[in-house]
Chains A and B, each alone.
Chain A
Amino acid sequence: MSKEERPANLEPMQAWREWFLKNERDWSESLARMIKTDAVSKTLGKELNAMLYGQQALAKSMAGPMAMMNLPTRAEMTALSDRFGRLEDAVARIEAALVQMNSAAGKGAVQPPRTRKPARKTKKPARRDAE
């Protein structure tokens, strides 16, 4: 018996999945209500700060060892990514300039006339009085 021919009641996991999906919105809303409290938002804020300081401390402590191993730091990789980004921006400016030059020379995409009107709304026929 192929999977497609197997009746649904032989797949208990499918029933569980459907039950989950049916209730997911309500459960998400309940969880969201629990999260929407001062205590949780303050805790999340503290966790975020701790993570930021931890990340900063780790970056500082790793800078030396990574230089010794001749490995780039995150800052160096980010700077490289920024240079690629600026190169892409320059290429985009050139592309846009070429499009505009083509357009000025009459070789660009043809612009249709700006004469379009909305479709006329058909008037509903008047109701006949009951005879």
Chain B
Amino acid sequence: MTLNELMSSRSAELVALEQEMVRETATTPKELLYARGTLRLYHYLPQTDDIYRVPLMLVMSIVSKPYVFDLTHGQSLIEYLVQAGFDVYLIDWGTPRPEHSSVSIDDYVADWIPDCISQVQRHSGEREISLLGYCLGGILTLLYAALEPKGPVKNLPLLTTPINSEGMEMQRQLATGIDADRMIDMLGNVPTEVVQAGFQIQRPLQTTAGQLMLMNKSTDREFIKVHMRLVRWGDEALPIPGETFRQMHHDIFLENKIVRGEFKVRGRKMNLRDIRVPVLHVLAQHDHVVPYPAARDVIQLVGSRDKEEWVIPGGHVSVVTGLGAVTRTWPRLAAWLADRSV
């Protein structure tokens, strides 16, 4: 075999592996319940003879695609929860287009989340709902719960949710140098490339390390697929609507308004003390995206009596994937939710 033939056959193998990996992603059976603009609300089909009374809606970060919740069979938080008897829904925010540059955090919190909640209420026949937020999705669910403290939220499990920008030194430092207003006025939305660069700069050598690890395990087909899955998810970062980024830049990164109780939604200041429902916050010990100092205030600030914080080993995605998630975090999460979903 010539070198060219060898390289062609290897590259054909990789393409076949990639196609196999894509086919195996987000396979938990679901139906599209509601669509509005780019937003999709999915309902996952029950797989048990009975289900818990209170439905659970997962709210993803706006900068990443939600299939990380349903990576593949055996590595899917959604599959796990459905098989544990939960009635699971998912908000997929979709990819914002230039026409969505005026979308702000207020729209997510005071319009789209309540709209999806009413769809879930209508579909399930239940008024109460648990909201699970991941990362920026956790910020949105926290703000919604503060906006509607007497509303339908029954439980608020959160995964790696940052609220204190003093704990996000890198993001805060970069925010001081960026002229967000000029960028948004010129571009509309913050492009995917800028979002990806923002993630990569927080751990500059991680991509190289990933490629070297791949070379070490070049004969391990399953390892390569796992690696490709996570790289693909990381590469598919989403653009941020301009006005949303403007609020994040000014109000969250620079002025730290959430912890000070000064972040406004539809003109009203949001106070996390108004949240009284059970709150669980799962954090990762070596999370370079949401360091512990950026997230620990959640449990301290909410007004709930029933509140817990777990710090698990691993990085930012270890709460939603990996052996530790499957064997330890998810069973604990399911048990916590089960007690509060009857």
Interface residue ranges, A against B (CB under 8 Å)? 3-4, 13-14, 17-18, 20-21, 24-25, 27-28, 31-32, 35-38, 40-46, 48-49, 52, 56, 78, 81-82, 85, 89, 92-93, 95-96, 99-100, 103, 108-119
B182 near A89: Cβ-Cβ < 8 Å: no
Nearest residue, chain B, Cβ from A39: B177
If A41-B173, A95-B35, A118-B342 touch, does A52 touch B45 (CB 8 Å cutoff)? no
| 4 smallest beta-carbon distances between A and B, as pairs | A41-B177, A45-B177, A92-B35, A118-B338
B99 near A82: Cβ-Cβ < 8 Å: yes
| CA distance in complex: A117, B179 (Å) | 53
Given contacts A112-B48, A112-B49, 4 further A-B contacts (CB under 8 A): A40-B173, A85-B97, A103-B123, A114-B52
Nearest residue, chain B, Cβ from A46: B177
**In this assembly, does B305 line the interface, its C-beta being within 8 Å of a C-beta of chain A?**
no
Residues from chain B with a CB closer than 8 A to the CB of A18 are 216
A35 near B32: Cβ-Cβ < 8 Å: no
If A4-B219, A112-B50 touch, does A37 touch B338 (CB 8 Å cutoff)? no
**Interface secondary structure of B, over-half rule:** mixed
Choice from A36, A109, A114 contacting B170 with Cβ under 8 Å: A36
If A36-B170, A116-B51 touch, does A82 touch B205 (CB 8 Å cutoff)? no
Residues from chain A with a CB closer than 8 A to the CB of B335 are 118
B253 → chain A, closest Cβ, in Å?
11
A35 near B170: Cβ-Cβ < 8 Å: yes
| CA distance in complex: A18, B217 (Å) | 11
Number of cross-chain contacts by CB at 8 Å: 145
**In this assembly, does B186 line the interface, its C-beta being within 8 Å of a C-beta of chain A?**
yes
Choice from B99, B202, B205, B216 contacting A14 with Cβ under 8 Å: B216
Residues from chain A with a CB closer than 8 A to the CB of B194 are 48
Could you write out 7 A-B pairs with CB less than 8 Å apart?
A32-B202, A36-B173, A37-B173, A99-B32, A103-B123, A112-B49, A114-B51
Interface residue ranges, B against A (CB under 8 Å)? 31-38, 40-41, 43, 45-46, 48-53, 85, 87, 95, 97-99, 123-124, 126, 169-170, 173-179, 182-183, 186-187, 194, 201-206, 208-209, 212-213, 215-216, 219, 286, 288, 335, 338-339, 342
A82 → chain B, closest Cβ, in Å?
5
A1 → chain B, closest Cβ, in Å?
15
Residues from chain A with a CB closer than 8 A to the CB of B175 are 41
B173 → chain A, closest Cβ, in Å?
5
B197 → chain A, closest Cβ, in Å?
9
| CA distance in complex: A32, B256 (Å) | 22
